[in-house]
Structure formats: C-alpha cells, structure tokens
Amino acid sequence: MAQLLWWENAVIYQIYPRSFQDSNHDGVGDLQGIIQRLDYIANLGVDAIWISPFFTSPQKDFGYDVADYCDIHHEYGTLADFDALIEKAHDLGLKLMVDIVPAHCSEEHKWFQESRQSRDNPKADWFHWVDPLPDGSAPTNWLSFFGGRAWSFEPRRQQYYLHNFLPSQPNLNYANPDVMNAMMDVARFWFDRGVDGFRLDAVHTINADSAPYKDNPANPEFVLGPLPQDQQPFFRQYHDGAQLNQPNIQRFSEEIRKVADSYDDRYLMGECDGDNDNAMMVSQTFTQAGRLHATYNFDLLKWDGLSVEGMRDAIAKAVEAFNDSGRLSFAFSNHDVPRSASRQLAKLGLDESQQQAMQLLLLQLEISLIGSACIYQGEELALPDVQDIPLDKMQDPWGIEFAPAFLGRDTCRTPMVWQTTAPHGGFSEANDTWLPVAEAHLSRAGLDEAERPQSNYNKLASFLKWRKDQPAMMEANTMTAPTGDAHQIIFTRISDKQSLRCCFDFETLSASFEEI
C-alpha cells in the first residue's frame, strides 16, 4: 500500500483561541497564549492543531464574522505573533490549520461596506442583493440558522441581502468571479505564511447561484419537540439545492483545490452537512477528484447524543461511503455542540462518576476509525459541559436568542483551566474573563493532569503513542463494517501487515484491541 499523506490519518487538536490561554491579562485568550501551551499539545501526541478564527472581527459571532481575512483581531495579537506560533508549532512537529470562513463575512468588512451603498458601485454584486416581492416581503422563505428570516432589508439600495446566519454576516456572491478570486488570494496569503491546511467553515452554506432564487420546501418529517439544535424553525424546511448545497458551490471547491495543489502537501477539510440522511452524499460530492481533500463529518455530533446503535449506524454509513480513503474527518465534539461526555452520559443513562471513562472511550473510538479525527480542547481532560452560566454572562448570540429553553454554544466554550489553585484556573490573571471559568473544571486542570500518571490526558497520550506503532491504523484506511451487541461497537482495521480487531464496550466503558 502507498504511504498515507499526513492528513489521511491525522489526529487534529482544535483550539478555540478566545478560551485557550490569555497571555496579556485582558480575560481573552490569544495567540501568545497558544504558544505558551504548544508543548502541552505536542506532548499529548497529536499531529496537528486547528485554530478557530482569529481574524479581524467585531466578534458578534466570535470570529466567524470576518472583517479582514488577512489580519489578526487585536484581542488575539498580531501577524508577528502568528508567525511565531507557526514557527514553534512546526519546530514541535505539529502541522497548523486555520479556520477560513468562505461563505460569509462581517457587515464591517470593507467589501460589504462598499456594496451596501448603492446598486452601481464596484462591489455592488459581491453579495446577494434582491428586490422585494411586490408586497414588500423577502424574496424567498429562507430562514436563518440563528432565528428569523435569512434576508435583511438595506434602505440605501432598497433591496434585501442574504445572510444564512446573523444579519451582520452577509453571504458572499460566488457567482461573481471577482469574489472567487479575492478568496483565492486569501488562501494564498495564509499558505505563503506556512499554514498547512484549512478547515473551511460551513462550505455547504456558500451561495453561488444567481437570482431568481427558489423557496425551500417544507420538511414533512419535522416533529415539534423541545428546543435542542434540531428543533429550531430552520429545520422545518428542506434546504439542499435551494438555500444550501447549491451545485455551483463546487466551483469554489475546485478553485481552492487548485490553489492548495500549487503548494506542497497542503490540506483542505470542509465542514458540510445535508438534509436528513443526505450528509454522506454531500461529503462524497465535496470530495470528488479535484475538489476538497476531506469533509468534516457531523454524524457523531448529534446535539443530544447517540445511542450505541446510533453511533454504530453512523460509522457504518461512513465506512460504506469512504472505506479505503482518508476523505472523512470524525469528531465527537467541537465549539458548536455540548461536550461529548456530558451528551453521551445523558443519552446512555450513566452517572457523572463514569464521565472520564466514557470520554476516553469516545476518543479511542474516534481515533481508531478511518480518516482523520478532531479533538476539541478539553476533551483530553474529560471536561463536562457547563450548564450553569448565568443568563447575564452569556455571549453566544444563538443562545441569547433562545435562552433559557436553549443555551446555545457557550456551554462548551468556557475558558480552559490549567492549574487548580491559580486564579481563574490559570487561564487569565484578569479580574474577569470573557466567559466565566467553570468551577466543575478546576479539578481537571490541564497542566496538573499532565503531571498525574493515571489522568485521562496521559491515558490518551499512551493510546496515541501505541497507535503510531499499529500498521492497520497508520498505513491504511481500511476497516470492516461495525458490528456488536447493544453495548458494543466492533470492527477490524486492516493493512497489508496487520489486521487489528477493535472492540469498544459501552457497558464496561473499555476498549480492547487484538491482532487476528
């Protein structure tokens, strides 16, 4: 078998920079703070880091609203800080990926500031501008992920503009080749600085079609229930082919792949999703030859957790679609969903004393699958989700919109803790932090746990070290379809040199591996 490229089986550690480490005592994490903690990450044994957006931004969606794609937000540091970060990461043997947001920017970006002024300026068609319907209403029935319509009215142009998220996040118009070229220049800017790859945020929400736009059909399978993520009004509609996953999106995939291929060994991982059971087909479309290298798989990220059968079914779909390839990246947690051990404890009816064993098992499972795996900061410590943030301390616009029925994403974004006895757990020496430090996290502080031999951190580090010696995991991306009883997920990883039977037992919360 041909030797795998680094990204085909990488373990990628996701950093949410605002909550990782504050170096200048303002209560907000920053790039110098990441530099201070790179040894902690490298010693864990991961292969790469992925940093959520740190670009210039009004921070209305905490970096996913970009006002300048080629500069650093002042709270996070400077380009010189970034250059120092990438140099140290590479010295430690870590690849570095940054989170590019191609579908939309901030209303404060100079492109939108110019575009919104008139219908005849040089940037007039860089965004999706549409006349009202005869009755003055929005041009389609499209809804925003964050609540309300996906169209907002601009009185200067007497037109609506499209935003799939906040009104302050207008969607770029990729039907305009100038927009495409501008974003390719952004990609070159970061590749030229030595970045090893991009995690491309929400690529399925890129809009590349021109008017007339068509309405989304109703989702006949929607069932009203309590308000986790999938009970928003947004999910009362089907979106593929109209509002989302437009066929012309793939022009973006093809263009950015050409840019990546003009450099050595660069990686493109696209976050994408689809209606109902459509996610695997969407991922296959995005990773056809000449498009993205891989997609970021949502199937293990269900907001309220998965049963063992649900996990097994999700893995089986991935194996059916992507066996013998590294074109899929798995994750049980990220900055957008409650922390995985808390989700799974509740789903499987386990108690808090079992949380650390549950978290280690989830990570071992994820890392044992084909393709790459993404670990969200704090998962190596089995940090619980934080459900007791006071409403007046909440920051996430999504949670603020729907609280208290739905608390949004702040619950997984509280600052990392590093030392149990230090102020704010060692995250910051400021009087206050941007989100409160969770008291429940202090007993699992990162630097303290790294010194404790039997901590989850060190058990995961040992597992990652062992994995690097397993040909079935490191030299091939082949596995059998998962089987097992009501409590187990069992499969075999296969290479020319080894067949390794992997068994994950959610009754005993233990993993076992056997050469066969």
Q: Which one of 201, 379, 396, 448 is the catalytic residue?
A: 201
Q: Which one of 47, 75, 271, 380 is the catalytic residue?
A: 271
Domain assignment present for residue 370? The answer is: yes
Question: Is position 271 annotated as part of the catalytic site?
Answer: yes
Domain assignment present for residue 392? The answer is: yes
Q: Is the pLDDT of residue 1 over 60?
A: no
- Residues 6 or more apart whose CB falls under 8 angstroms from that of 134 comprise none
Q: Is the pLDDT of residue 417 over 70?
A: yes
- Tell me what the mean pLDDT of segment 297-314 comes to: 93
Taking the complete model, does pTM exceed 0.95, yes or no?
yes
Q: Which amino acid is at 217?
A: P
Q: With residue 80 as reference, give the H or E element that holds it.
A: helix 79-91
Domain containing 429 — which CATH number? 3.20.20.80
* Residue ranges making up the domain that contains 340: 6-105+177-207+238-475
Task: Give dist(CA 431, CA 440) in Å, integer.
Answer: 20
- Confidence (pLDDT) at 211: 81
Domain assignment present for residue 500? The answer is: no
Phi, psi dihedrals of residue 129, rounded to the nearest 5°: -110, 130
Domain assignment present for residue 465? The answer is: yes
Domain assignment present for residue 91? The answer is: yes
pLDDT digits (tens, 9 = 90+) for 224-276: 877 666 667 899 999 999 999 999 999 999 999 999 999 999 999 999 999 98
Q: Is the pLDDT of residue 125 over 80?
A: yes
The highest-confidence range among 111-120, 212-221, 297-306, by mean pLDDT, is: 111-120
Contact status, residue 356 vs residue 350, Cβ threshold 8 Å: no
Domain assignment present for residue 146? The answer is: no
Domain assignment present for residue 133? The answer is: no
- Confidence (pLDDT) at 230: 66
Domain assignment present for residue 396? The answer is: yes
- Confidence (pLDDT) at 277: 80
**Number of domains making up the chain:** 1
- Tell me what the mean pLDDT of segment 447-455 comes to: 98
DSSP helix/strand/coil, 366: helix
Question: Is position 388 annotated as part of the catalytic site?
Answer: no
pLDDT digits (tens, 9 = 90+) for 130-158: 999 999 999 999 999 988 999 999 999 99
Q: Is the pLDDT of residue 435 over 90?
A: yes
Task: Give dist(CA 306, CA 311) in Å, integer.
Answer: 6
Write out the two tokens for 332: 């049980």
**Beta strand segments in 84-138, E:** 95-100, 129-130
